[in-house]
Chain A
Amino acid sequence: MALKIVKGSIDRMFDKNLQDLVRGIRNHKEDEAKYISTCIDEIKQELKQDNIAVKANAVCKLTYLQMLGYDVSWAAFNIVEVMSSSKFTYKRIGYLAASQCFHESTDVIMLTTNQIRKDLSSPNQYDTGVALTGLSCFVTPDLARDLANDIMTLMSHTKPYIRKKAVLIMYKVFLKYPESLRPAFPRLKEKLEDPDPGVQSAAVNVICELARRNPKNYLSLAPLFFKLMTSSTNNWVLIKIIKLFGALTPLEPRLGKKLIEPLTNLIHRKIHIFSSHKMLCSQSHLIVSLSRIAVLISLSSGMPNHSASIQVMKYLGLLAMSKILKTHPKSVQSHKDLILQCLDDKDESIRLRALDLLYGMVSKKNLMEIVKKLMLHVDKAEGTTYRDELLTKIIDICSQSNYQYITNFEWYISILVELTRLEGTRHGHLIASQMLDVAIRVRAIRVFAVAQMATLLDNAHLLTGNMQRMGICEVLYAAAWICGEFSEHLENPMQTLEAMLRPKVATLPGHIQAVYVQNAAKLFATVLKNQEGNTDSTAAQETSQLMIDRLPLFVQSANLEVQERASCILQLVKYIQKLQQKDVEVAEEVCALFAGELNPVAPKAQKKVPVPEGLDLDAWINEPPSESESEDEQPKAIFAKEEPKHSRPRHTEVDEKELARRREARKQEQANNPFYIKASPSSQKAYQEAPGVEHIPVVQIDLSVPLKVPGLPMSDQYVKLEEERRQKERADKKKKEKKKRKEKRSGRGRKHDSGPESEEDITPAHMVDIVTEEMPEVHRSCLNITMNLKGNARTNMISAKGAVSSYVVSGGIFLPVKSSKHKKKKQKKEKEEKEKKKKKKHHHHHHHSDGGGEESVQNGTVEEEEPLPVSVYDIQGNLQDGSQVVVSVIFENKCDSFLKSMEFNVLDSLNSKLQRPEGSGPHDGLTVPFQLPPGVSNEARFVFTVQSIVMPQKLKGTLTFIVKNEDSSTHEKLDFKLHFTCTSYLITTPCYSDAFAKLLESGDLKCSSVRLEGVIMPFHHLLARICFHHHFSVVERIDSCASMYSRSIQGHHVCLLVKTSGQTVSIDAKCDEPTLLGNVLDEIKQTFSQC
């Protein structure tokens, strides 16, 4: 009796083993979940028992439940308990459960380390084996680190069974604990030649996986593998080795050649011996027997019975081809027919593979044909995945390499429209983006596209009807936008407008409605324009009424965007209506709302916008928080190190490019300067319209910004015209190209275009600035110089130094604009006639700049009667008033005529203004208060107010005068430029060395530096030169090193440290105004580049 009870209880205990559980679940089909939950309760009870057998049984059942999708992580600890059982049966159950449900974030895993280690060293090989198998599934970085050594020892275990498992698990260990790879690798390599094929195979397996991640480390093993390949008979090993070689051959081309022979042997052997042709897919990397694959495919497709194994071959053949396609597209293209045939295969996998290949098959000739075929498939295809795949493939194929293969965009648009008829595709947005892309980029197609889109909008009820949720309605987004944006091409804009304002539109997703509303407004503008032209005011009013009637629907929309746009436009239309009722013509103004064309922007356009000089994007805006304080306390190097920080990496070689770059930067700076007027919107606009689609906004920035000065001097305008012309030319050129390419507009082309474009941009800039380049020479010559302006007329340039007070700053000259050859073409046309005349007479004018003034002797003889006064000027800062600069001009009459009524006038810029007597207008000239008899010179002073002194600038001016001879008098005019260098704003100020040191330490000053190469002059000359030309004073001089100081009229401190070694002079500078400093340094550099 007792025994019976015991037996019964034990039975009950075990009545639910795994089989019973499964049976139970099968018997409770209706309330499976409930049954399982009671089972789980039982299992929980069982797990509370001390008996390991009961626990093991419970864990076994849990493993099954886990497979059914029940979370069993709560039993993780019990699983560990069962794992640690001494009995193999239970241990195996425990490890199985662990491998099924443990993962890296299971916390009890760390409890298992010692248990696993014990099992690994167990005398029973199956204990070890089971532990390895389990570990392979749930190894964590910690476990890998702790157990790597134990596993490595096992790699040399006496039993092959253990060895092979240990070798294999090493891969997992490497993954989790990469440091173990180095010590373990020699042993792993050893195992490649293990006598047991299983171990060998495992080692090959591991090395293959490793090589997949980083092939080049395993090149050295190639000979070993080569031997294995020729000797091994194990298919699995061979497959893996060939896969490995597949990864290695790209790195070592010689390997490929060597492999051909053994591989072909292998393939022959395998094809004949094994029905499964294992090598086929693997060898594809090696491109050895493409023809064989093709033959296989053709064989298999030619076979009448499509048995599965044949299909397998076909699939693998196509797979291999797709790999070959990447490297040898030509060889695959020759099998085009075969591949197209595969498109008709009943097997979806094969069709998909063939589709992949199609991508490489298309050409201009066959694109339409192929796509037509695909469209047929689209119609036939059932199942959305395949159809979606087809759709994306069609679009991929057509749009690849920027529509390279499309010869007829009308065709493409119709294909896209046809694709919208597909029911339930997910790719509405893809079609939409293609439509937008093509319509925007291919200008010629717009008329057609707009017509198509209008039809699409008209039939919108088809689209919105049943498949709104499927995303095809995205197409309407594109349609609405295209119709709105290019509404001028619409045949019947009114009809489209009505279509867009249908009440049904309100069922569309919000973002599409928003586009509808916005573009309805655009259409409205177009319609109004048309109707007002017809002098039929009622029609226009009706249109407004239509808008007012329909828009409230959108105003009520739940979507904020729609609501906002709708209410905005509604109010606008109401206002328009009011105006209309007063018979005011509004169409023009309404159109102006949407005027302007949207142009595509190259993806990398942003990169081309230069970072303005002096703007360091990495710099802190505020001082970095307190950590750096300690650093601040350390004594700082007074001057920056040799290498400049960011702005001027190559200062020493002042080549053209560098100059151009700097000029560009300076212009940019001017553009950012609030004192300069920026490009007016109107001219921007003109730019946009002129050059067409290729025009990239960046270019506009480059071109339009620097030239804007109020009262734009004519030459500059000319420059602008020139640039525009250039642009047009470029556009024309491109159009020609475009024609050549049969309307193919490619982004690559554009990218390509924009490259040279930006380079070309430098050239015009160069042209504009050519005067600047002459500047330095002129500048240098300003000391003593006579300057020839016009044949008989000459300027005697007298150094202002002596004449003016000690703070005289800089010398300069009138720069005769006309004398520059380059300038001529930039003059305004109206002046050209006059100029030509002069040019004839004074063809040698351009000589003036070469070699400075002393050469003027050449014109000692007076050839012509026409006299001109000429002048020297000197700009001096006014110390009393930081914003005033005095320009002393010396006029000398070198001709034989009497000069009178001289008027001096300068075109003011925002930054600098000529001070005129009160009551005179801003464009009036100043009368020079003297007359000049022949051979006489006199000085006049003009005061300018300057706002910002951080940048050099030029002012254009004219001097008009009357030349009086005995018998006649003529009115003459001389154009000149005043160059305000930054140096001219500096005032020589003495400074003591202690004050100097204090200044440097104050930390307010920004560093910059410059290097001058090839300066061959004594150091003291050099210093004198800097002092003289740039108004510095020497603070201290020690051997070949000197510190210098100067102050600007606005009180900026400028400190220099000049060092010389050999022919190299390095100037480190500090100033509290980095821009000013940069410009001063540039000027210093230019001074020395003349030597």
Chain B
Amino acid sequence: MIKAILIFNNHGKPRLSKFYEHYNEDTEQQIIRETFHLVSKRDENVCNFLEGGMLIGGSDYKLIYRHYATLYFVFCVDSSESELGILDLIQVFVETLDKCFENVCELDLIFHVDKVHNILAEMVMGGMVLETNMNEIITQVDAQNKMEKSEVMCFVTFINQCPCLDICSMQGHCFAFHTASASR
């Protein structure tokens, strides 16, 4: 099982955090800080595994991480996961992000954290690996984005086709807007 997936940059700013076990917000922040502290100390040419970390730790758990340019991708996993398997998964994740965002950079993750979540949801579900095949992941993500886009398109056309709205109806516009789009 994967316990948590964290992405943060070289300064420890969280770019994505996904905990598959519940912690309160403060604990989550503490875990992120601590993990960053542990990972950032390490040289480039050392192995990608790390034991310890008080909060997420426990003897059964270890941190498996990869460092790409400005970002750290850290998975906290228990012993049922293969270390190399997870390393591979991180690679798949990053490549998928690269495909979806076209030359992904930190900024993409900053501004589209929801999209990153959606991509991740196709790979890992509730702490278990769902899909490792990149093409399959991209297909599903694209299909969902297409759906979303079609819905947004409806909405945009609706606004453009609505010249009759006036100030008086502003108060209620949301409701009207909603029902109109829903009826469509």
Q: Shortest Cβ distance from A238 into chain B, in angstroms? A: 10
Complex contact B113–A64 (CB within 8 A): yes
Measured CA separation A166–B118 after assembly (Å): 18
Complex contact A276–B126 (CB within 8 A): no
Contacts of B26 in A (CB 8 A): 69
A995 interface hit (Cβ, 8 Å): no
Q: Shortest Cβ distance from B59 into chain A, in angstroms? A: 10
Contacts of A9 in B (CB 8 A): 170, 173
A158 interface hit (Cβ, 8 Å): no
Nearest-CB residue, chain A, relative to B63: A349
B130 interface hit (Cβ, 8 Å): yes
CB < 8 Å: which of A88, A93, A236, A312 contacts B49?
A: A312
B42 interface hit (Cβ, 8 Å): yes
Q: Shortest Cβ distance from B26 into chain A, in angstroms? A: 7
A50 interface hit (Cβ, 8 Å): yes
> Which of A124-156 touch B at CB < 8 Å?
124, 126, 129-130, 132-133, 136-137, 139
Q: A239-B85, A306-B45 are in contact. Are A161 and B126 (CB under 8 A)?
A: no
CB < 8 Å: which of A69, A171, A307, A312 contacts B25?
A: A69
Contacts of A383 in B (CB 8 A): 41
B117 interface hit (Cβ, 8 Å): yes
Complex contact A137–B20 (CB within 8 A): yes
Contacts of A126 in B (CB 8 A): 143-144, 147
Complex contact B113–A67 (CB within 8 A): yes
Contacts of B88 in A (CB 8 A): 235, 276, 278
Q: A50-B178, A71-B25 are in contact. Are A312 and B48 (CB under 8 A)?
A: yes
Q: Shortest Cβ distance from A732 into chain B, in angstroms? A: 45
> Which of B23-66 touch A at CB < 8 Å?
24-26, 28-29, 41-52
Q: Which of A51-59, A518-526, A590-598 contacts B (4 or more CB under 8 A)?
A: A51-59
Chain A interface helix/strand/loop/mixed: helix
Contacts of A282 in B (CB 8 A): 82
CB < 8 Å: which of A22, A100, A202, A234 contacts B130?
A: A202
CB < 8 Å: which of B84, B148, B178 contacts A280?
A: B84
Nearest-CB residue, chain A, relative to B20: A137
A315 interface hit (Cβ, 8 Å): yes
Q: Which of A204-212, A437-445, A914-922, A980-988 contacts B (4 or more CB under 8 A)?
A: A204-212
B138 interface hit (Cβ, 8 Å): no
B132-147 interface bits toward A, Cβ cutoff 8 Å, 1 = contact, 0 = none: 1100100010011001
Complex contact B47–A308 (CB within 8 A): yes
Complex contact B126–A347 (CB within 8 A): no
Complex contact A69–B29 (CB within 8 A): yes
Q: A67-B17, A311-B46 are in contact. Are A209 and B128 (CB under 8 A)?
A: yes
CB < 8 Å: which of B24, B49, B118, B126 contacts A172?
A: B126
Nearest-CB residue, chain A, relative to B14: A67
> Which of A242-297 touch B at CB < 8 Å?
243, 276-278, 280-282
Complex contact B118–A92 (CB within 8 A): yes
Q: Shortest Cβ distance from A118 into chain B, in angstroms? A: 16
B177 interface hit (Cβ, 8 Å): yes
Q: Which of B68-76, B96-104, B151-159 contacts A (4 or more CB under 8 A)?
A: B151-159
Q: A308-B48, A315-B47, A349-B46 are in contact. Are A103 and B133 (CB under 8 A)?
A: no
A10 interface hit (Cβ, 8 Å): yes
For B18, B118, B174, the residue with the greatest tally of chain A CB atoms inside 10 Å of its CB is B174
Q: A67-B16, A68-B14, A69-B29 are in contact. Are A236 and B47 (CB under 8 A)?
A: no
Complex contact B130–A88 (CB within 8 A): no
A644 interface hit (Cβ, 8 Å): no
Q: Shortest Cβ distance from A300 into chain B, in angstroms? A: 10
Measured CA separation A169–B130 after assembly (Å): 10
Nearest-CB residue, chain A, relative to B140: A161
Measured CA separation A540–B50 after assembly (Å): 61
Complex contact B174–A133 (CB within 8 A): no
Total interface residues on B, CB under 8 Å, equals 70
Contacts of B151 in A (CB 8 A): 87-89
Measured CA separation A212–B79 after assembly (Å): 10
Measured CA separation A316–B47 after assembly (Å): 9
Q: Shortest Cβ distance from A222 into chain B, in angstroms? A: 18
Complex contact B82–A281 (CB within 8 A): yes
CB < 8 Å: which of B22, B118, B128, B173 contacts A171?
A: B128
For A132, A243, A312, the residue with the greatest tally of chain B CB atoms inside 10 Å of its CB is A312
CB < 8 Å: which of B24, B85, B166 contacts A278?
A: B85
For B17, B82, B88, B174, the residue with the greatest tally of chain A CB atoms inside 10 Å of its CB is B82
Measured CA separation A51–B180 after assembly (Å): 11
- Interface size classification for chain A: 35 or more
Complex contact A168–B128 (CB within 8 A): yes
Complex contact A89–B46 (CB within 8 A): no
B95 interface hit (Cβ, 8 Å): no
Complex contact A3–B165 (CB within 8 A): yes
Contacts of A314 in B (CB 8 A): 47
Q: Shortest Cβ distance from A435 into chain B, in angstroms? A: 27
Complex contact B178–A239 (CB within 8 A): no
Contacts of B159 in A (CB 8 A): 7, 10
Measured CA separation A954–B113 after assembly (Å): 91
Q: A51-B178, A69-B25 are in contact. Are A209 and B1 (CB under 8 A)?
A: yes
A1-37 interface bits toward B, Cβ cutoff 8 Å, 1 = contact, 0 = none: 0110111011000000011001100100000000000
Measured CA separation A131–B133 after assembly (Å): 22
CB < 8 Å: which of B130, B170, B174 contacts A165?
A: B130
A49 interface hit (Cβ, 8 Å): yes
Contacts of B85 in A (CB 8 A): 235-236, 239, 278
Nearest-CB residue, chain A, relative to B19: A100
Q: Shortest Cβ distance from A630 into chain B, in angstroms? A: 47
A348 interface hit (Cβ, 8 Å): yes
Q: Shortest Cβ distance from B25 into chain A, in angstroms? A: 5
Nearest-CB residue, chain A, relative to B170: A9
Contacts of A616 in B (CB 8 A): none
A70 interface hit (Cβ, 8 Å): yes
Complex contact B114–A63 (CB within 8 A): yes
Q: A3-B163, A6-B165, A49-B174 are in contact. Are A96 and B80 (CB under 8 A)?
A: no
Q: Shortest Cβ distance from A236 into chain B, in angstroms? A: 5
Nearest-CB residue, chain B, relative to A352: B51
Measured CA separation A71–B26 after assembly (Å): 9
Measured CA separation A348–B63 after assembly (Å): 13
Nearest-CB residue, chain A, relative to B21: A103
A83-107 interface bits toward B, Cβ cutoff 8 Å, 1 = contact, 0 = none: 0001111001100100010011000
Contacts of B111 in A (CB 8 A): 18-19, 22-23
Contacts of A10 in B (CB 8 A): 159, 173
Nearest-CB residue, chain B, relative to A101: B25
A713 interface hit (Cβ, 8 Å): no
Measured CA separation A564–B117 after assembly (Å): 63
Contacts of B25 in A (CB 8 A): 66, 69-71
Q: Shortest Cβ distance from A152 into chain B, in angstroms? A: 17
Complex contact A133–B178 (CB within 8 A): no
Contacts of A350 in B (CB 8 A): 46-47
Q: Shortest Cβ distance from B37 into chain A, in angstroms? A: 11
Measured CA separation A795–B44 after assembly (Å): 102
Contacts of B128 in A (CB 8 A): 168, 171, 202, 205-206, 209
Chain A interface (Cβ within 8 Å of chain B)? 2-3, 5-7, 9-10, 18-19, 22-23, 26, 49-54, 60, 63-64, 66-71, 86-89, 92-93, 96, 100, 103-104, 124, 126, 129-130, 132-133, 136-137, 139, 161, 164-165, 168-169, 171-172, 197-198, 201-202, 205-206, 208-209, 212, 234-236, 239, 243, 276-278, 280-282, 306-308, 311-312, 314-316, 319, 346-350, 352, 383, 385
Residue contacts A-B, CB under 8 angstroms, 15 given: A2-B167, A49-B174, A60-B114, A66-B25, A71-B25, A124-B147, A168-B125, A201-B129, A209-B1, A234-B132, A277-B84, A278-B88, A280-B84, A316-B84, A349-B46
Q: Which A-B residue pairs are the 3 nearest by beta carbons? A: A136-B126, A51-B174, A103-B22
Known: A2-B166, A50-B175, A63-B117. 12 other contacts (CB 8 A): A67-B16, A68-B14, A88-B148, A129-B140, A205-B129, A239-B85, A278-B82, A308-B47, A314-B47, A319-B83, A347-B47, A350-B46
